[in-house]
């Protein structure tokens, strides 16, 4: 049961620092987020993209988990059997680096401890610090089933990992072989492609002469890595490049080492790069490795695990890779073989943890043969069994899956799932087994286990079914697999999503999720990627502390448009904090005007006595439909903006103002109707808003009259067709046009906000005439009108009056005594002169070529925005001046 409601009436201000921890604890204590498996209900399930156990909440996590939480809260309230499974990834390299740094502070290395003691040390760190991000997700309001929290190294998931590896090996889909991989010379491990961060760099392109073996000239090869020429085994050109057709099949002398290598033709060569002739180093370049396999070229490894030159480098052996580059270039120049060098911008890959420049490296690794798995995963998307939202990403998915390479799954570190393979020290037999074998089954010899561990992505590829209890056939698998939705960032579509697709289909015979929703990145206000070096990082924990969690969540949802990056500025979060406060204050107003009553929900629109009530309930019916439709389509921004517009502008700005006289009026039926409508809108709005801003809505929910459980478990509102009243909506739209027209005229003419004015109305239709007669009090109250009079059809239009022309009414505002036209004209002329000076200065700056070439793009853009803003303001002033001048005669 929920805790007792806070005392009524509501406090004047919403104190989120007090409210958020109280409801977070209450939800968890009541265990309302735990999985439901009630017969007869539809199922909705999600697995959290597991953050690294080393991680802390960043703005990308906040976006990803807010969107997931919106979905699961919506479905839970809608009566689904729901489960949202949380957990963390053991993050092999990252976690090992954290503990190694701690050891370094003690003057130790992992080798000093040995493997077993080092692993114990990592588990100790995990027990002490590994739950940080989970607690931060709880603070964000995530309604996960925390009783089912998983860890990729826990006992159950480790069992699943071993089962998958063994089965794949038995099926011939796992093998060990020589292949080129990303290698970190500092961490001494292979890296997944996603673990390599590419940064733009200003490098050099060297043009090197490779003499033809027969002495008849040379071919010039362009390269960014001259040190690797020591491992060249061919020179390649494009088959259709007429410049080199005559040398294909001939041989050249490898500079400095004088080894003879062939000239080959291969379509992978780009004729526009450099000279159109490229060196082929199969052991040190991904494209060259594939080319080498196609042409049966040998592989010569000239850089070792430390990125130092090997014996194969001849006279250059034992050098650091950059020292080797310097020596090679010096000797090429001395030999007359270095034709030229030039600047060349390119991307350099670095290890995502230690930032060391990564080397392509040929080594013996374990691989998954992904061809058969990828074909099935590709077909599942083509057939619509899994849909990708936005659908524009389906093409990218198809390209990746069509050109996929075998997956390197071994890592040369200690923290992770150790590969369950053993080699006999006697006969050399390799044994792969589910349970640790004692002796070689062939000769009885001693066995040595593989020292490598599995790639972290291997265990996370099993996440949708291993977290539900596989390889056992659990009730959870029966109810919740396939999962309903995966919400993740587009940048791991290939590295994680595609691998989950392959594994789910292979081991479960079904896709792992029905829908993949790919959200965009959160960037700063200028659209730049956030980074600590730029100083533009927005820390969600800091802004949650400053503005409240609900404001942060609602901001992220409101800007989460499909296919567009989010430009996030702190002032936008502050703006939505005002919306949270608006919800609070509206609730205070409604509850204060209930006068202790507990009205039920209103009946059909046609039975309600007041036009405002018929209108607001009709709008609530439409908004309910729109929000549901948007959430079902993953249009989070549309749903959020629809709720914002309805609650703030329609409910607060219009309905509550229209209803104030009725709340305490002398007509009991109208008063009861107004109170019932206001409470119904507040009740349903809190439930519609709850998935977006759970804390403030839960707090307010418990102040509403009647016995209530948690808002988190209350039914999500459904449309009420009997409230649909298009006529009421049309009439209120006309009323809004009248009030807005008068308000705008007051503002433009500089009439003091407190001044009570007279308005003469000349309606052009019976509908408008009846509306003004019925809602005259509303016009007077909302537009601060002292007298609203009807101007007879044949009456002469008044002089010296401002005119507001609407579709079916003209409004006249006599200005005598309200506006000093001459003074207003002088003010406008003064403002015009100031704006024209600023506009001239800005235009001059934009005409300056030095400014345009040197200033950052965002600065130039701001100056152009100023021109647009100044011009628009001047145009508005000109129209206003013309109106005032006409009034002065």
Q: Is residue 461 part of a domain?
A: no
Domain coverage including residue 856: 821-887
Quote the CA–CA distance of 583 and 581 in Å, as a whole number. Answer: 5
Tell me, yes or no, whether 744 and 828 share the same domain.
Answer: no
Q: What's the confidence (pLDDT) of residue 220? A: 96
Give the model's confidence band at 532: pLDDT under 50 very low, under 70 low, under 90 confident, else very high.
low
Tell me, yes or no, whether 797 and 866 share the same domain.
Answer: no
Half-sphere exposure at residue 64, Cβ-oriented, CA atoms within 13 angstroms:
23
Closest among 22, 35, 140, 26 to 557, alpha carbons compared? 140
- Which domain-ending residue is among 695, 724, 753? 724
Q: What's the confidence (pLDDT) of residue 722? A: 95
What Å distances lie between residue 594 and 11, 510, 874, CA to CA?
16, 54, 48
Q: Is residue 781 part of a domain?
A: yes
pLDDT reading at 8 higher than 80: no
What Å distances lie between residue 161 and 166, 206, 367, 459, CA to CA?
9, 47, 15, 6
pLDDT tens sequence across 386-410: 999 999 999 999 998 998 888 889 9
Q: Is residue 514 part of a domain?
A: no
Tell me, yes or no, whether 806 and 740 share the same domain.
Answer: yes
Q: Is residue 275 part of a domain?
A: yes
Q: In sequence order, what are the beta bridge partners of 324? A: none
Cβ–Cβ under 8 Å, residues 269 and 238: yes
User: Computed from CA positions of residues 45, 51, 53, 58, in that sequence, does the dihedral angle turn out positive or negative?
Assistant: negative
Tell me, yes or no, whether 791 and 740 share the same domain.
Answer: yes
Cβ–Cβ under 8 Å, residues 408 and 452: no
Quote the CA–CA distance of 101 and 288 in Å, as a whole number. Answer: 36
Give the model's confidence band at 26: pLDDT under 50 very low, under 70 low, under 90 confident, else very high.
very high
| 3-class secondary structure, 752 | coil
Closest among 694, 687, 692, 693 to 717, alpha carbons compared? 687
DSSP character at residue 647? I
Quote the CA–CA distance of 481 and 468 in Å, as a whole number. Answer: 8
Tell me, yes or no, whether 672 and 691 share the same domain.
Answer: yes
Give the model's confidence band at 260: pLDDT under 50 very low, under 70 low, under 90 confident, else very high.
very high
- Which domain-ending residue is among 784, 814, 844? 814
Give the model's confidence band at 5: pLDDT under 50 very low, under 70 low, under 90 confident, else very high.
very low
SS3 letters across 595-621: CCCCCCCCCCHHHCCCHHHHHHHHHHH
Give the model's confidence band at 820: pLDDT under 50 very low, under 70 low, under 90 confident, else very high.
low
What Å distances lie between residue 640 and 388, 494, 560, 580, CA to CA?
22, 30, 9, 13
| CATH classification at residue 872 | 1.10.287
Give the model's confidence band at 7: pLDDT under 50 very low, under 70 low, under 90 confident, else very high.
very low
Tell me, yes or no, whether 354 and 208 share the same domain.
Answer: yes
The DSSP element (H or E) to which 590 belongs, if any, is helix 570-593
DSSP character at residue 152? T
Average pLDDT over residues 146-171: 97
Give the model's confidence band at 6: pLDDT under 50 very low, under 70 low, under 90 confident, else very high.
very low
What Å distances lie between residue 524 and 116, 151, 345, 528, 559, CA to CA?
44, 32, 26, 5, 13
Q: Is residue 852 part of a domain?
A: yes
Comparing 17-26, 329-338, 871-880, the range with the smallest average pLDDT is 871-880
pLDDT tens sequence across 444-466: 999 999 999 999 999 999 999 99
| CATH classification at residue 737 | 3.30.2320
Q: What's the confidence (pLDDT) of residue 712? A: 97
Q: In sequence order, what are the beta bridge partners of 52? A: 89
Cβ–Cβ under 8 Å, residues 689 and 711: no
Average pLDDT over residues 544-566: 91
| CATH classification at residue 572 | 1.10.730.10
**Largest pairwise CA distance in the chain:** 116
Q: Which residue has the higher pLDDT, 825 or 601?
A: 601
Q: What's the confidence (pLDDT) of residue 575? A: 94
Q: Is residue 287 part of a domain?
A: yes
Binding-site sequence positions: 532
Average pLDDT over residues 403-421: 92
pLDDT reading at 131 higher than 50: yes
pLDDT tens sequence across 717-756: 999 999 999 999 999 999 999 999 999 988 888 888 888 8
pLDDT tens sequence across 212-246: 999 999 999 999 999 999 999 999 999 999 999 99
Quote the CA–CA distance of 82 and 479 in Å, as a whole number. Answer: 10
pLDDT reading at 530 higher than 80: no
| 3-class secondary structure, 529 | strand
Tell me, yes or no, whether 284 and 206 share the same domain.
Answer: yes
Average pLDDT over residues 188-201: 82
Tell me, yes or no, whether 850 and 791 share the same domain.
Answer: no
Q: Are strands 785-790 and 757-763 parallel, antiparallel or unpaired?
A: parallel
Residue with tokens 């409601």: 5
Q: What's the confidence (pLDDT) of residue 639? A: 98
| CATH classification at residue 273 | 3.90.740.10
Please tell me the total count of domains within the chain: 4
Task: Output the six-digit token pair for 469.
Answer: 């209890």
- Among left, alpha and beta (phi > 0; psi -120 to 50; other), residue 215 is left
Q: What's the confidence (pLDDT) of residue 877? A: 80
Percentage of the chain modeled with pLDDT above 70: 98
Cβ–Cβ under 8 Å, residues 735 and 56: no
Cβ–Cβ under 8 Å, residues 749 and 815: yes
Q: Is residue 94 part of a domain?
A: no
pLDDT reading at 590 higher than 70: yes
Average pLDDT over residues 453-482: 96
Average pLDDT over residues 521-542: 77
Comparing 102-111, 624-633, 653-662, 813-822, the range with the smallest average pLDDT is 813-822
- Which domain-ending residue is among 320, 339, 360? 360
Task: Output the six-digit token pair for 87.
Answer: 């957990």
pLDDT reading at 189 higher than 90: no
Tell me, yes or no, whether 245 and 331 share the same domain.
Answer: yes
Residue with tokens 């970190």: 184
Quote the CA–CA distance of 581 and 550 in Å, as a whole number. Answer: 10
| 3-class secondary structure, 632 | helix
Quote the CA–CA distance of 421 and 370 in Å, as a whole number. Answer: 20
How many other C-beta atoms can be found within 10 angstroms of the C-beta atom of residue 627? 24
Tell me, yes or no, whether 600 and 672 share the same domain.
Answer: yes
Tell me, yes or no, whether 233 and 334 share the same domain.
Answer: yes
- Among left, alpha and beta (phi > 0; psi -120 to 50; other), residue 444 is left
Mean of pLDDT over the chain? 91
pLDDT tens sequence across 29-82: 999 999 989 999 999 999 999 999 998 888 989 999 999 999 999 999 999 999
| 3-class secondary structure, 278 | strand
Binding-site sequence positions for ATP: 532
Q: Is residue 220 part of a domain?
A: yes
Quote the CA–CA distance of 711 and 402 in Å, as a whole number. Answer: 47
Task: Output the six-digit token pair for 252.
Answer: 């050249």
Quote the CA–CA distance of 346 and 658 in Å, as a whole number. Answer: 64
C-alpha 341, offset from chain centre: 42
Coarse DSSP helix, strand, coil percentages of the chain, rounded to the nearest 5 percent: 50, 20, 35
pLDDT reading at 539 higher than 90: no
Closest among 233, 221, 226 to 300, alpha carbons compared? 233
Backbone angles phi, psi at 88, to 5 degrees: -130, 155
SS3 letters across 188-245: CEEECHHHEEEEEEEEEEEEEEEEECCCCCEEEEEECCHHHHHHCCEEEECCCCCCCH
Q: What's the confidence (pLDDT) of residue 1? A: 46
Burial code of 477-506, b = ≥16 C-beta within 10 A, e = fewer? bebbbbbbbbbbbbebbbbbbbbbbbbbbb
Q: Are strands 174-184 and 359-368 parallel, antiparallel or unpaired?
A: antiparallel
What Å distances lie between residue 529 and 357, 388, 522, 524, 612, CA to CA?
22, 24, 7, 7, 47
Cβ–Cβ under 8 Å, residues 703 and 583: no
Backbone angles phi, psi at 690, to 5 degrees: -55, -45
Cβ–Cβ under 8 Å, residues 538 and 48: no
Tell me, yes or no, whether 828 and 769 share the same domain.
Answer: no
């Amino acid at each position: 049961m929920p805790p007792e409601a806070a005392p009524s009436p509501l406090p004047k201000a919403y104190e989120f620092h007090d409210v958020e921890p109280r409801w977070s604890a209450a939800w968890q204590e009541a265990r309302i987020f735990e999985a439901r498996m009630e017969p007869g209900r539809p199922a909705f399930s999600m697995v959290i993209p597991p953050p690294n156990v080393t991680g802390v909440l960043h703005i990308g996590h906040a976006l990803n988990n807010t969107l997931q939480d919106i979905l699961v809260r919506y479905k839970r309230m809608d009566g689904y059997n729901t489960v949202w499974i949380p957990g963390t990834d053991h993050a092999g390299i990252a976690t090992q680096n954290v503990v190694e740094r701690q050891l370094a502070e003690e003057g130790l290395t992992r080798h000093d401890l040995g493997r077993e003691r080092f692993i114990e040390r990592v588990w100790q760190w995990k027990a002490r610090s590994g739950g940080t991000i989970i607690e931060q997700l709880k603070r964000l309001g995530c309604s996960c089933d925390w009783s089912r929290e998983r860890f990729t190294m826990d006992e159950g998931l480790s069992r699943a990992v071993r089962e998958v590896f063994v089965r794949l090996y038995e099926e011939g889909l796992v093998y060990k072989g020589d292949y080129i991989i990303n290698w970190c010379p500092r961490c001494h491990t292979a890296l997944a492609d996603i673990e390599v961060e590419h940064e733009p760099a200003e490098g050099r392109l060297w043009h090197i002469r490779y003499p033809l073996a027969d002495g008849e000239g040379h071919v010039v090869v362009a390269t960014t890595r001259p040190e690797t020429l020591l491992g060249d085994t061919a020179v390649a050109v494009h088959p259709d490049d007429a410049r080199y057709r005559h040398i294909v099949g001939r041989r050249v002398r490898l500079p400095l080492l004088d080894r003879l290598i062939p000239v080959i033709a291969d379509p992978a060569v780009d004729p526009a790069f450099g000279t159109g002739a490229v060196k082929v180093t199969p052991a040190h370049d991904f494209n060259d490795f594939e080319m080498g396999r196609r042409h049966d070229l040998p592989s010569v490894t000239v850089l070792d695990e430390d990125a130092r030159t090997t014996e194969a480098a001849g006279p250059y052996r034992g050098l650091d890779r950059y020292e080797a580059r310097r020596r090679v270039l010096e000797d090429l120049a001395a030999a007359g073989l270095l034709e030229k060098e030039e600047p060349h911008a390119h991307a350099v890959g670095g290890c995502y943890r230690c930032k060391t420049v990564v080397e392509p490296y040929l080594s013996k690794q374990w691989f998954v043969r992904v061809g058969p798995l990828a074909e099935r995963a590709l077909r599942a998307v083509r057939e619509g069994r899994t849909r990708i939202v936005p659908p524009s990403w389906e093409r990218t998915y198809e390209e990746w899956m069509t050109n996929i390479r075998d997956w390197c799954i071994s890592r040369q570190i200690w923290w992770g799932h150790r590969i369950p393979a053993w080699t006999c020290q006697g006969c050399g037999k390799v044994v792969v087994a589910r349970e640790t074998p004692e002796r070689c089954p062939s000769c009885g010899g001693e066995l040595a286990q593989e020292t490598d561990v599995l790639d972290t992505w291997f265990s996370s590829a099993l996440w949708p079914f291993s977290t539900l209890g596989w390889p056992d056939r659990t009730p959870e698998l029966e109810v919740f697999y396939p999962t309903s939705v995966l919400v993740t960032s587009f940048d791991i579509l290939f590295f994680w999503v595609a691998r989950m697709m392959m594994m789910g289909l292979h081991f479960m015979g079904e896709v792992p999720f029905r829908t993949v929703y790919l959200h965009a990145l959160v960037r700063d206000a200028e659209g730049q990627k956030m980074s600590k070096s730029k100083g533009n990082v927005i820390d969600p924990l800091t802004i949650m502390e400053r503005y409240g969690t609900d404001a942060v969540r609602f901001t992220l949802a409101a800007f989460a448009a499909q296919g567009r990056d989010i430009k996030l500025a702190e002032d936008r979060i502050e703006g939505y904090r005002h919306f949270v406060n608006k919800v609070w204050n509206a609730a205070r107003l409604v509850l204060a005007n209930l006068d202790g009553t507990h009205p039920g929900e209103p009946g059909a629109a046609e039975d309600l006595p007041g036009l405002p009530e018929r209108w607001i309930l009709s709008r609530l019916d439409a908004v309910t439909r729109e929000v549901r439709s948007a959430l079902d389509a993953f249009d989070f921004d549309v749903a959020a903006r629809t709720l914002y517009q309805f609650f703030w502008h329609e409910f607060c700005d219009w309905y509550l103002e229209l209803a104030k006289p009725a709340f305490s009026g002398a007509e009991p039926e109208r008063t009861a109707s107004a109170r019932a409508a206001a409470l119904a809108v507040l009740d349903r709005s809190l439930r519609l808003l709850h998935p977006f801003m759970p804390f403030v809505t839960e707090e307010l929910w418990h102040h509403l009259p009647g016995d209530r459980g948690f808002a988190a478990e209350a039914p999500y509102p459904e449309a009420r067709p009997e409230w649909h009243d298009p006529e009421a909506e049309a009439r209120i739209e006309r009323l809004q046009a009248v009030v807005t027209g008068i308000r705008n005229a007051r503002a433009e003419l500089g009439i003091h906000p407190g001044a009570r004015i007279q308005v003469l109305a000349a309606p052009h239709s019976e509908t408008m005439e009846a509306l003004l007669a019925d809602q005259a009090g509303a016009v007077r109250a909302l537009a601060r009108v002292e007298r609203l009079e009807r101007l007879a059809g044949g009456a002469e239009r008044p002089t010296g009056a401002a005119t507001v022309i609407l579709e079916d009414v003209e409004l006249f505002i006599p200005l005598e005594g309200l506006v000093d036209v001459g003074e207003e004209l002088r003010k406008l002329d003064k403002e015009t002169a100031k704006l024209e000076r600023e506009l001239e200065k800005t235009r001059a700056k934009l005409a300056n070529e030095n400014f345009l070439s040197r200033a950052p793009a965002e600065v130039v853009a701001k100056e152009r925005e100023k021109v647009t803003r100044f011009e628009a303001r001047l145009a508005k002033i000109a129209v206003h001046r013309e109106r005032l001048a006409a009034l002065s005669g």
